[in-house]
Structure 1
Amino acid sequence: MLKYIVKRILQAIPLLLLITLICFTLINLAPYDAIDSITTPDMTKAEVEAKREAYGLNDPMIVQYGRWVGNILKGDFGYSLLSHTSIKYDLKIRIPATIKLVLPSYLSAYLLSIVLGLLAGSHKNKWQDKLIDGFCSVGISMPTFWFAMIVMYFLGYKFKIFPLMGMHTIGMEDSFADFMKHFVMPYIVLTVGFLPDLTRYVRGSTIGQLKEDYVIVQQAFGAKKTEILFKHVGRNVLIPLITKLGMALPMLVTGAVITETIFSWPGIGSYFVKAISAMDYPIVMSILVLSGTLVILGNLLSDVLYCLTDPRIKTIK
């Protein structure tokens, strides 16, 4: 098992380097001068040239790439073209805000999908299955921004139950109750957005497991349907579902771009959209590198979790 995990880690390293190479190439092809991210408009030409020389922007591209990758490994993502603030500092503030929103939403959808998927799969083609599958069909086809605006209109504007935008009321940043009021609407939108795909995944796995021989054996021994479903089928359904946890890792950073933008949630999503609108390339590329890296790490985590939960994987060379 250890050999398998080490092998997967070694395979991930070239992919990480490829992501940085693609992003660096896009940065240099973009129609802007990199010196703009480290200078201010009131600097003279001589000062700008001094900065260019000091930061090595006159060096060959391969040298700049090596230095850029080195800076990323040290956590230095550069500076915003628009605000001239450190991207690293902005990410430190915004990533926790995104995680506070996305993580509870995904875990809620994850747990609900297990119950709904098992229920639908064990009642294939019956009214329970049709009802749950109908909900999933509507959820998958429904645009996130449309549902977010509907929730905002009814719960925020018409009935004034929750605040419309933001993460805190100004002056109440330390209030947990105020945070929860702002949290509820985007939480509902994200949970409903994550739930249909996960539910269908569990439903399909449940239907497949119910056809296995061990289910027939348990029925022959007189086991109750509920016991078979949750004690035996559920356990086997959870093994492939664990891979979904690893694949969800990138969502912790970029999984709520639309929702955060609509609700003005101060996370990575709204930060990313504003950077695109302002053509703030250092921020865009930093988030792309971060997102791509998390995709690879998510796949790696899925493989490791699968290896730990399924003994058959240990025999793979």
Structure 2
Amino acid sequence: MPRFVLMRLLQMIPVMLGVSFVVFISVYLVPGDVARTVLGQQASDTAVQALREELGLNRPLLVQYGIWLWDLLHFDLGFSISQRVSVSTLLGEKILNSLILMGFSLFLVITLSFTLSVYSATHFRKIGDRLAIFGTLVMASAPTFWLGILLLYVFSIKFPFFPTSGMHNFYNPGGFWEVVHHATLPAIATAASSIAIVTRVTRSAMIDVITKTYMTALRSRGIRRRRLNYVHMVRNALPSFVNISGLQVGYLFGSAIFSEIIFNWPGIGLQLYDAILQRDVPMIQGCSLVIALMFVISNFLSDYIVRSLDAIKR
């Protein structure tokens, strides 16, 4: 196991280097002048050129990338052009807020998809199974931004059960349950597609387990159906469930961008959206890098958990 962890950590290095290069280059491929955007279209050419020199935008692109990568290795993401504060300092609180939303969304994914997949597999080709498959098809086809707007209209405006925006009550900030109350709708919008994916994959894995020869042998020995379903079937399909659920962590962190914008949740997604509108290059790079890092870390954790489950089974 230590050798596996070491190899996976070493493999993450070239992946993150490639991601950092793509993140850095892609921002500069977008048409427009960052300095001109910051100063406004009425600014003089002299002022624009001075700002370009101050930001180092007049240097060759590879030189800029080398300087940025060196600063990144020292945990320095630069300064926000629009807000004039350290990107690392500003992203610290935003990352925590996004992790709260992602954690709530992941909780919904794990609980609902596991319950639906077990129910669907144990009622294979019955009316309950067909309804579950139809429901997951609808959830998988619903874009996050569309579902978020629909939930906002129905449950915040038409029937005001949940707040329309934010993370706390602005005038009277509360505790944990207030955060849960505010996070419910954005978490549902974020998790819907992942619930559908995890349910369908896990259901297929469980049905495949049911048809195995050893399950037939266990059934012939008189083992009760409940024990077959909830012990043997679930246990052997668990690695598939963990693997696909782990892969959804990075996706949830990324798709939460739309939910954060719609529900004005103060996280990485909303910060990235504002940075794009303001052409704040260091902030865009910092947010994109954090999202990519979450994908890499979630893949590593899912692989590690699956490897641990395999070791336990042996």
Hey, what's the Cα distance between the residues in 2 that align with 1:228 and 1:253?
A: 36
Distance verdict in 2 for CA 1:76–1:268, change over 3 Å: same
Q: Contact 2:249–2:294 (CA<8 Å) still a contact in 1? A: yes
2:293 aligns to what? 293
- TM-score, normalised to structure 1's length? 0.85
Hey, what's the Cα distance between the residues in 2 that align with 1:297 and 1:142?
A: 27
Hey, what's the Cα distance between the residues in 1 that align with 2:51 and 2:194?
A: 50
Which whole-Å deviations, capped at 9, do the CAs of 1:122-150 have from their partners, x for residues lacking one?
A: 22211111011011111111232222222
2:149 aligns to what? 149
Secondary structure of 2:249's aligned partner: coil
Point out the more displaced range, 101-110 or 182-191: 182-191
Which whole-Å deviations, capped at 9, do the CAs of 1:99-123 have from their partners, x for residues lacking one?
A: 1112122122212211211221222
Identity %: 28
> Matches of residues 54-203 of structure 1 in structure 2 within 5 Å?
61-203=61-203
Question: Alpha-carbon deviation of 1:186?
Answer: 1.8
Hey, what's the Cα distance between the residues in 1 that align with 2:65 and 2:166?
A: 38
Question: Alpha-carbon deviation of 1:69?
Answer: 1.4
Hey, what's the Cα distance between the residues in 2 that align with 1:191 and 1:15?
A: 26
Q: Contact 2:198–2:245 (CA<8 Å) still a contact in 1? A: no
Q: Contact 2:140–2:192 (CA<8 Å) still a contact in 1? A: no
Hey, what's the Cα distance between the residues in 1 that align with 2:279 and 2:104?
A: 32
Hey, what's the Cα distance between the residues in 1 that align with 2:105 and 2:27?
A: 34
Distance verdict in 2 for CA 1:312–1:11, change over 3 Å: farther
Unaligned runs of 5+ residues in structure 2 are: none
Hey, what's the Cα distance between the residues in 2 that align with 1:13 and 1:180?
A: 36
- TM-score, normalised to structure 2's length? 0.86
Secondary structure of 2:171's aligned partner: coil
Secondary structure of 2:84's aligned partner: coil
The number of equivalent residue pairs is 313
Question: Alpha-carbon deviation of 1:10?
Answer: 1.9
Hey, what's the Cα distance between the residues in 1 that align with 2:80 and 2:114?
A: 42
Hey, what's the Cα distance between the residues in 2 that align with 1:31 and 1:134?
A: 43
Question: Alpha-carbon deviation of 1:222?
Answer: 1.0
- Over the residues paired in the alignment, what is the CA RMSD in angstroms? 3.2
Q: Contact 1:102–1:251 (CA<8 Å) still a contact in 2? A: no
Distance verdict in 2 for CA 1:132–1:30, change over 3 Å: closer
Hey, what's the Cα distance between the residues in 1 that align with 2:251 and 2:127?
A: 33
Point out the more displaced range, 214-223 or 62-71: 62-71
Hey, what's the Cα distance between the residues in 2 that align with 1:252 and 1:87?
A: 23
Point out the more displaced range, 7-16 or 259-268: 7-16
Runs of 4 or more consecutive aligned structure 1 residues displaced over 3 Å after TM superposition? 27-42, 48-53, 55-64, 174-178, 311-314
Hey, what's the Cα distance between the residues in 1 that align with 2:183 and 2:58?
A: 47
Distance verdict in 2 for CA 1:177–1:21, change over 3 Å: closer
